Structure 1
């Protein structure tokens, strides 16, 4: 067996060997070599070049079977490059082999980056795992040379196989070195071309415009997006200075000074106005990056920019929508909060003050419901325009939502200045609105609350709370006025908040109780009816008037829960009265909010079913303010109640916002004359005439009449003489708890039946 030289011996041989091309003598060899060079120079496909290279080597050295394997992208495996004369099963067996020691000649060579000579495959330790397949292919020797790239990295291997045990000579070493060199050139050139092609594709297909300039800003290259965005082709602007196209008004000196300070890893980014070829201005976001040569001098500039006109326009729209009211185009709450934060920071630094006015349109909900939402919106737009006339400079007016507005006066002069603004706002808002035509003018007023920073609150939340409390105080004072925040209002607000919490507890802990005030039938002198009146037995404050806690319940929404409790107690009492043989109808009051919750009818049904009570024993009392709602919806709601058998009574007639004409439009059964008409009626003929007219009109419309607040015998007799149907008041009976009312009604029934009992026949 031939003696195999050591690796060091082969290294010395290769260094002293003459390149194979210098020894080529035959014309065929020269032609084949030139053909191979031609393939390299004409950028032929890599598989074709590698295949020709293997065939060239095999022809130059008969008996050789050539093979080229390429290093995979993960640098850990060898994949098939070209081996046209090796058996397919062998190529498949080694395709994808992991590199490493004992991975055959090629796997070991790629791993070590050195030439590996195996003269006898069968006995060499490197071939232990691949010996069987190699011998099956008839392969006995394998010399493998790593293909090294220009950066000394392994690209693959070139192998020479023999079907006999063989040691290479000098010509073999020269040949394998030349083969590996040519393979390396082909691989790197192909990869470079692919990289360049990929780079060019990326360059041309980027959605951003790119211009490459020299150190004097003269344009050397542009991409497709550049022409699409600017309208300039490369031929139009080749050699021009880039700043003339991308940043009008900024000179080359400006950019040279700014960019000279940048290093290779930094860039300059800015948003500027540019101009297209057609003269159209547009916004761009421009990034300029500096490229320097090996000596550190500026070699190139890369100008990358994007048309951000649409994005900026969209951002502007989004910002406007986020900060302005869509209906009135006034700043919204978000915008106002930012301005308030700014004003607070300013006032803290300057130790100054500013004012906040919060205003609400009076009865706007009723107007909106009666006229319709379209005209309601139109009124809001007109009101907003009127409010704008009262602001100037840094003042801010905002629509907070619904019919609520706010005005911030950051340059507060004094209290009188705020009063002047508030009075002007109230005066302008109170002027008539032509929403339909001149013959159908609409009216509204404003209630204004005023708070001052930091006196009435040193945070936005506290300041708004104070202004709101002042506004509610203005409403309580009759509306169409303004009110400054005071500590008294704060105490009142705190008291109402405490009362609200206590009311929640009262519902849970049975602190509430229904009282019943009898209503006498003036024709029969019978006790036919009674009104249910809620009482609150507070464990600490004693009896709390409904006039105090009912408005809080309506304001906070707890009135719905309270109404359900009242109806439950009323139906329970009806059941108790029936069990005692007393057929007495009970009247329950229904809040405006509760009436429009949409749950009133179902609530009545649930209570009647629970206590097996028929609707004939129940009456609903509503106030005139409900008539300001949409009449069609109002009629439907009342009709649904009457369909159940529930009677409908209008309470406190003459004190609301309706007129007598409404009485003919709604399904009403009963009218209750407010106590204000009864008080002093004995000595006032005008009141007597008015009450008599109400009674007559009601009877004409098929309604019964109840007079409230009767406290004297004279009032009682007078109303009876006027034809009034029922009397309610302290003269007849005061409100009383359930047990006392049952006893009173029983005694009344006994006395009435005893008085009118017919004598027995003999």
Structure 2
């Protein structure tokens, strides 16, 4: 049974497409001719490609094969007297289909050829990149590696498979992790960087960056060229060390010291800090060196350098100038007298004998101090002035340890501070310290509810020494710990006396410095209360914000141990430090204390009023009591009362009183007039 005409044509169309895709030359022409005969039911038929010239005259039915004015050839069929319109249409459709398929196939062939050429070119370029010694890689704008040559494999130890697709940051050394959009956009930069190999080895590399662009010249990434320069960097570091460091002690030499001093002075100037140079000359070193020989002298100098370095902070500079001379630079001190304390510390580390080759050797030193900006504005000038001051110290007492400032006024101030420090040490053991008690009052009813214990120094010759003179000195020298221990002991002893006299329990507030606030404090408080038979309700510890800013968890642990004893805690000088409110809610405190610096401006200063009101509001939200210190006027009291403050202390009510006067006030239930 013959096929349906439409089915027959579709079958022939499929055969035509298959022939164009598979066949070439005469075989294609023969197959296309066959398909044309089949479609038109002709006895003969052929396809004549455009490049073939047939001398025979055309006969029968003809149809050109074209697509978009491009001529591919023609169909010719014959052997019949006539053709129906349907057969003519089928031949025309077949020619149209053949033209479109041939056009697509031609484009595909050209594309494939171009792709093969591009692929060959890329392979050629890849071979070139792999042969060069440099490490070359590309990355996109987000830093993800897109290509990785053999040089990169040799340099880093990662294969292309391991590296491509990863972010460039995995090659960075931990100390060199700068990577940003700005870095990616600044192609062409040449820099020296630290990178890390697959085996963990860190090396120095010279890195050059060039932009990677598309056909429209838009940036799509970076090309990175890297070369290992580790050997050169190590050579440079060795040369730098030889030029700027002392070969014997490995400390900076004079050249590096002056450079670093000049840099530090720039920072000190912006921060309005003092800077100091200490010029140190060892005494008796020449005798040791001449007697025991240079080897022993060198070992002694190395040990002195080690002790100096351990005695100083990381940010302090220490250098060896040559021979037995050293220098120290201090640049983040707020008061120049701190330099004299450092000088004494350096002298103290020389007190212990040096064991060199079985010999116990002893040296001391003379130290001269110059101060920025009074004595000079650059390293060389300050070093020269410190040298002069050192000579003055040595001449002043050739046989002893001496410290001298270049400025005579500073020398006098240093001598005065040393006299105060020495006197304070004596005062601790000779009954010269006393406690005065400043009453604390309830705003609600005006009754005394407690007192702050304040230390006073009654000098046998100078009389009453103001706390502002000796408390800062005690803090800077560490004597504040001994003073604090004495205050706690004396306050508890006095509280016991009042308890025995029938005085109702009141809260005695004792200030605790940051140096005292250690894990040993709760035990010391507990033992002191036990020894005097006092209930914890008699004692309150006042701590400052600065105490709380180091190792929060450790501090809170100490505070918890104190409150477990039943002793209350008060946060002193609140608002002057840097407490985070997130930490404040964790502190087991009972009272917030408004610093006098805020109370002074009330009620005329709007800022002080706002700060005081805010502190009171915070305390109320956290269920803490609030006390304001430094209250001296009725207007201040009225504002604090209206704002919800609980307690006050200040000269409006009473100045600090000796123990007997305070006891009298308690017994009389003294209230403000």
Query: Which interval holds the TM-score relative to the shorter structure?
Result: 0.3 to 0.5
Larger Rg: 1
TM-score by length of 1: 0.40
TM-score by length of 2: 0.44
